[in-house]
Amino acid sequence: MTEFIELTINGFSLGAIYALIAIGFVLVFKATGVVNFAHGSVLLLGAYVTARTQEDLGFWVALVVGAAVAGAGAALIDVLLMRRVRAVDAGTLAILTLGIDIVLATELTRRIGPDIFPSGAPWGSEVVRMGDYVIPETRVAAAGIAIVILTAFYTAFRFTDWGIAMRAAAADGRTAALMGVRLNRVAAGAWALAGAIAAVAGVFFTSFPAPGVDNATGLSALAAIPAAVIGGLDSLFGALVGGIMVGLVATYCAGYQDELSFLGRGLGEIAPYTVMLIVLLIRPAGLFGSRGVTRV
Amino acid sequence: MTSLAKDKPQPPTGATGRPLLRIRDLRVTYGDSVNALHGVDLDVPDGAIVAVLGNNGAGKSTLLRAISGTLALEGGRISGGSVEYDGNDITGNDPARIVRGGLVQVPEGRRIFAELTVDENLRAGGLATRDKVAKAEARERVFELFPRLQERTGQKGGLLSGGEQQMLAIGRALMSRPRLLLLDEPSLGLAPKVVEQIATIIGEINRQGTVVVLVEQNAAMALRIADEAVVLETGRVALSGRAADLAGSDEVRHRYLGIATTDDPEGTAPAAPAAGGSGLTKAPAADAEAAGPTSLPAGTRRAAAQRLSVQDVTVRFGGITALQDVSFTVEPGTTHAVIGPNGAGKSTCLNVLTGVYRATSGTVRYGDTELGGLRPHRIAQLGVARTFQNLALSAEATVERNLLVGRHRLTKAGMIATGLSLPSARRELAEQRARVREVAALVGLENDLDRLVHVLPYGTRKRVELARALCAEPDVLLLDEPVAGMNAGESAAMSQAIADLRGALGLTIVLVEHDMPFVMGLAESVTVLDFGRCIADGTPADIQRDPAVLQAYLGTVAAEEELSHDDDAGDPQP
């Protein structure tokens, strides 16, 4: 039982990180209708910049720099490439992001080479004891920061003018334009914010127990895609739920690996996709996605 | 006329001062091929209300989009001419810049943000304004004009009634304190009583100093409140002048007001310019009439309808009762209308008949078949076809493709035969195409078959819906608001087309509609719903005399007073 509760807490924490990535995914999708496959390499960019600058700047400043670079990078993708071809259909744009992902990931992988750059996060292998339960400090920090970011994001989205412009543009861009909302600016803002949040998530992915940024970091972010799809691609709340589901499932599968050995090894990596398939079979638009059904 | 007459001094036509909006030789094309405007001139004097009238497809919405800078979002572009606002050339400017200059458009169909609350919708409207004090003042003014909105600030926009949504759409636009307000069909789909309210409010907004350009199908309403008007025809200005003069011109009276509905005793002056009047695009009537009973294609079979009976049907969604104990019977080969105010349960009624909704209790029988438990596609196979209030067409497909969908139940070739393009499938497709062509000819669409639906004007799309339903060779045809958004002339043409089809094919028709002259001219029996209950049932003549119906649907004087009283009181919502 103790193990189960520890795994649950760990799973929640990991899930919060996935939720951060998935929310970026959903944000870009809502604002521009694009499924952004370049999200993983933007995350890698942020994590890489943080890891390379943390020795000179200290971890926290480096984290801000990493987030800023990833945000600016994502916004540049939108302004330089996506904006010019916005009118073509969403499928073409998604393929374009795949191309961007390959170029960006290849360049970063070349720079990283065989090295591993530690993220420099101040939390390491220490553990926090809560009664009977032992939780790694890094998991507590991840959950804490994720909750702060998610709350700030929710508040801004719900109550500020920026949030209203964002939601209006996502609901009906043509009408929002009639209100004076600058759709291009909203789109670039969504990309930038998604990139910055992804960078923060990336830093957690490369902190303990991971040794640091290496050339496979971009791939680990892929599990956020099933998280976003499970929740429904156009639902921010869905991204949160989907992220936590993926985190829990991956953690349980890893934790109970021995009991589940009849299913083979490495179950934790495919489990999110299995959950995604099951969810899609039952609800093709994801748990909270709008079903595209209109009143007749 | 008298109650709405404006008490402000009328700005002189062709005022000496510079007009606030000045359009010269404006040309617009969509997708490089479709020319929507061919050189439109328009002057909007300061202080005025200018009405823009015209049939579906005349270019009214396109004109507004060109002014507000949103053409590009619809795939169009200005290919010539100029738009000058307040002395500056704004041709092709970014919409955000135009809004910040005080020129705001309320889009057709209201387009409120359904998932945002009323308050958030209003805030969205004020996004272009930086000044906090100005924003607060604008909000005050909106709440003075629309006390309803103040009572509902926390409610989601999508839950408002049609009339309230229109109020919200106008209120949202007023949040940026426009000097020039463009209104695209504010009366679309609203009950007559609500249209009157909206008209009064537009007059009030104008009196408070906002110039209004009003695009309307409801020419009677528009000409009553406007100072000047232009009539567009296929992308050109056909008539222009003082609104009162136009309202009196025979041309306009006939085409747009429908002679029976003209009640303007003042407009007596004959219209001076009648140029191009005869070249008016006449929608379906002529074609349908000509192609009607006489020239019916050989293969057309007569419908073999059975009696459709609805018994004590109740539908509940959660705690809301949409229909309660509704019963009526439709005899084979007759036309039955279901009417009632917005939200009375008319569309719910059709949705039960087609199996989209399931009745909570009660029975629906078609002949000997109980429709209650059947899925929609099974009901369609029985020969029941319908059209939709909010058009349900594939916008990116051609008219022909949309109509072929209607042939689905009569198509035998399966996925494999079609996928491999076997001779049998090809032969069948050719036959189906021929049938589609015949049906299209019946409703006057034969020249539009290769066009994409999204370039077609609203009224033509309505006919595509009708044609698609006919393609299924139904015995029973269900029509959900077939003439919503059409002007009197088009509505009469549609009425004629439906009457011809009924005669030629022996169809049983159930129709839901707001347009009373349309219903009374077509239906043999009428059921009136109000708040989900059946309040009257009988022949059109009976219904027109029924006091309960007058009260519920047409709104008596007492009901009007009560309504405006409600607004003043502004009961705080719990």
Is residue A295 a part of any domain in this protein?
A: no
pLDDT surpassing 90 at residue B452: no
- Among chain B residues, the shortest Cα distance to A293 is held by B392
Q: For B219-232, what is the mean pLDDT? A: 89
Q: Which residue has the higher pLDDT, A190 or B438?
A: A190
| A103 DSSP β-pair partners | none
Given pLDDT bands bounded at 50, 70 and 90, which one contains residue B563? very low
Between A71 and B272, name the one with better pLDDT.
Answer: A71
- Chains A, B: CB contacts within 8 A come to 80
Is residue A279 assigned to a domain? no
* Nearest alpha carbon to residue B270 among B242, B297, B298: B242
Instruction: Copy the structure tokens of residue B460.
Output: 């033509």
Q: Does B114 touch chain A (CB under 8 A)?
A: yes
Cβ contact A172–B123 (<8 Å): no
What is the structure's pLDDT at A267? 79
Q: Supply the pLDDT for residue A255.
A: 86
Q: Is the CB of A167 less than 8 angstroms away from the CB of B120?
A: yes
Give the confidence band of B13 by pLDDT, cuts at 50, 70, 90.
very low
Lowest mean pLDDT among A49-63, A67-81, B21-35, B132-146: B21-35
Answer whether B143 touches A (CB < 8 Å).
no
What does residue B418 show for φ and ψ, rounded to 5 degrees? -70, -45
Handedness of CA A51, A53, A56, A62 (dihedral sign): negative
Closest CA–CA distance from residue B95 to any residue of chain A (Å)? 6
B412 Cα distance to chain centroid = 36
Q: Which residues pair with B85 in a beta bridge?
A: B21, B88
Greatest mean pLDDT among A66-75, B141-150, B262-271, B442-451 lies in A66-75
Task: Check whether B332 has a pLDDT greater than 80.
Answer: yes
Asked if B116 and A165 come within 8 Å (Cβ–Cβ), the reply is no
Q: Average pLDDT for residues B544-572, to the nearest whole number?
A: 51
Provide, as residue numbers in chain B, all residues whose Cβ is less than 8 Å from the Cβ of A173. 73
How far does B73 lie from chain A, in Å, by closest CA? 7
pLDDT of B383 > 80? The answer is yes
Share of chain B above pLDDT 90, in %: 24
**Mean per-residue pLDDT of chain B:** 78
- Between CA B484 and CA B486 the distance in angstroms is 6
Tell me, yes or no, if B62 comes closer than 8 A to chain A by beta carbon.
no
Domain range enclosing A129: 2-221
Contact A136, A127 (CB under 8 A): yes
Question: Which residues lie below 8 Å from residue A201, measured CB to CB, with a gap of 6+?
Answer: A17, A18, A20, A21, A43, A146, A221, A224
Residue B292 has pLDDT above 50, yes or no: no
* Contact assignment for B113 to A161 by CB distance below 8 Å: no
**B181 to chain A: closest CA residue:** A178
Chain B residue with minimum CA distance to A290: B115
Spell out which residues of chain B touch residue A176, defining contact as CB-CB under 8 Å: 124
Q: In sequence order, which ranges of B109-242 are alpha helices (DSSP H)?
A: 118-125, 132-145, 147-151, 162-174, 192-207, 219-225
CA of A171: which chain B residue's CA is closest?
Answer: B113
Is the confidence at residue A61, as pLDDT, over 90? Answer: yes
Distance CA A107, CA A101 (A): 10
Instruction: Evaluate whether residue A259 is within a structural domain.
Output: no
Per-residue pLDDT, A12: 92
Average pLDDT rounded to a whole number, residues B195-218: 91
Helix (H) or strand (E) run with residue B272 in it: none
For residue range A284-293, list pLDDT tens digits in order. 888 888 755 4
Residue owning tokens 């429709």 = B371
Q: Of how many residues is chain A composed?
A: 296
Residue window 469-498, chain B: list those with CB within 8 Å of chain A: 480
Task: Report yes or no: B193 and B149 within 8 Å, Cβ to Cβ.
Answer: no
Structure tokens at B294: 């006489």
B73 and A CB contact within 8 Å: yes
Percent share of chain A, pLDDT over 70: 98
Q: Would the CB atoms of B128 and A180 count as touching at under 8 Å?
A: yes
CB contact under 8 A, B390 and A294: yes
- Among A84, A186, A296, the residue to mutate for chain B (most B Cβ within 10 A): A296
Instruction: Kindly tell me if the per-residue pLDDT of B38 is higher than 80.
Output: yes
Is A112 within 8 Å of A64 (Cβ atoms)? Answer: no
Q: What distance in Å separates residue A116's CA from the closest CA in chain B?
A: 46
* Alpha-carbon gap, residue B105 to B322, rounded angstroms: 34
B75: closest CA of chain A, how far (Å): 9
Confidence at residue B455, expressed as pLDDT on a 0 to 100 scale:
76
Contact A167 B113 (CB under 8 A): yes
Section A38-60 average pLDDT: 92
The Cα A225–Cα A68 span in angstroms is 23
How far is the C-alpha of A97 from the C-alpha of A88, rounded, in Å? Answer: 13
Nearest CB among A171, A182, A296 relative to B113 is that of A171
For residue B17, give the H/E element and its range.
none
A159, closest residue in chain B (CA to CA): B120
B161 vs B34, more confident: B161
What mean pLDDT comes out for the span A191-204?
94
Residue B247, min C-alpha distance to chain A (Å): 31
Instruction: Quote the radius of gyration of chain A (alpha carbons, Å).
Output: 19
What is the mean pLDDT of the segment spanning B282-292?
35
Residue B287 has pLDDT above 80, yes or no: no
Could B127 and A165 be called an inter-chain contact, meaning their C-beta atoms sit closer than 8 Å? Answer: yes
Determine the pLDDT at residue B259.
Answer: 41
CB contacts, 8 Å: B120 with chain A: 164, 167
Residues of B with Cβ-Cβ distance to A171 under 8 angstroms: 113-116
Backbone angles phi, psi at B266, to 5 degrees: -85, -35
Mutate to test the interface with B, among A83, A164, A178, A293 (most CBs of B within 10 A): A178
B interface test, pick of A179, A184, A237, A290 with most B CB neighbours within 10 Å: A179
Numbered residues of chain A with Cβ closer than 8 Å to any chain B Cβ? 87, 161, 164-165, 167-168, 171-182, 294-296
Backbone angles phi, psi at B554, to 5 degrees: -85, -25
Q: Which amino acid is present at A163? A: G
Is the pLDDT at B306 greater than 90? The verdict is no
Going by pLDDT thresholds of 50, 70 and 90, the confidence category of residue A215 is confident
- Number of structural domains, chain A? 1
Is B105 within 8 Å of A176 when comparing Cβ atoms?
A: no
**B519 closest CA partner among B538, B547, B504:** B538
Query: Does the residue A110 lie in any domain?
Result: yes
For the ranges A115-119, A174-178, B65-69, B555-559, the lowest mean pLDDT is seen at B555-559
Instruction: Give the distance from residue A222's alpha carbon to the nearest chain B alpha carbon, in angstroms.
Output: 30
**Which tokens belong to B173?**
């636009």
Residue B299 pLDDT: 47
Token pair of B33 as six digits: 């091929």
Instruction: Determine contact: B131 vs chain A, CB below 8 A.
Output: no
- ipTM of predicted assembly, 2 dp: 0.84
Residue B342: per-residue pLDDT: 64
pLDDT(B411) > 80: no
The mean pLDDT value of chain A amounts to 87
Whats the size of chain B, residue-wise? 574
Who wins on pLDDT, B52 or B340? Answer: B52
Residue B12 has pLDDT above 90, yes or no: no
On whether any CB of chain A is under 8 Å from the CB of B68, the answer is yes
How close does chain A come to B314, measured CA to CA in Å?
Answer: 19
Chain B partners within 8 Å of A172 (Cβ): 111, 113
Output the pTM of the full model. 0.70
| CA atoms in the 13 A half-sphere facing the CB of B331 | 5
Collapsing DSSP states into helix, strand and coil, what is residue B321? strand
Instruction: Report if residue A258 sits inside a domain.
Output: no
* Residue B387 sits at the chain A interface (C-beta within 8 Å): no
Instruction: Give the pair of three-digit tokens for residue B237.
Output: 């200005």
Q: In whole angstroms, how large is the CA radius of gyration of chain B?
A: 25
Nearest residue of A to residue B481 by CA position? A296
Q: What is the mean pLDDT of residues A149-156?
A: 91
What pLDDT score does B357 carry? 84
d(CA A121, CA A200): 11
**Tens digit of each residue's pLDDT (9 = 90 or more) over B454-466:** 777 777 888 888 8
Of A244-248, B12-16, B381-385, minimum mean pLDDT range: B12-16
Where residue B271 falls among pLDDT bands split at 50, 70, 90? very low
List pLDDT tens digits, range A157-166.
889 999 999 9
Q: Which of A173, A174, A296 sits opposite B390 (nearest CB)?
A: A296
pLDDT per residue as tens digits for the range B354-376: 888 888 888 888 888 888 778 88
Mean of the pLDDT values across residues B138-153?
91
User: With contacts defined as CB-CB under 8 Å, which chain B residues touch A179?
Assistant: 99, 104, 124-125, 127-128, 172, 176
- State how far residue B293 is from chain A, nearest Cα, in angstroms: 31
Q: Classify residue A243: in a domain, yes or no.
A: no
pLDDT greater than 70 at residue B508: yes
Are A178 and B107 a contacting pair at CB < 8 A?
yes
Q: Do A177 and B70 touch (CB under 8 A)?
A: yes
CB B330, CB B508: distance < 8 Å: yes
Q: Residue B488 in 3-state DSSP?
A: helix
In chain B, which residue's Cα lies nearest the Cα of A165?
B124
State how far the Cα of B363 lies from the Cα of B22, in Å rounded to an integer: 60
Residues of chain A contacting residue B142, judged by C-beta atoms under 8 Å apart: none
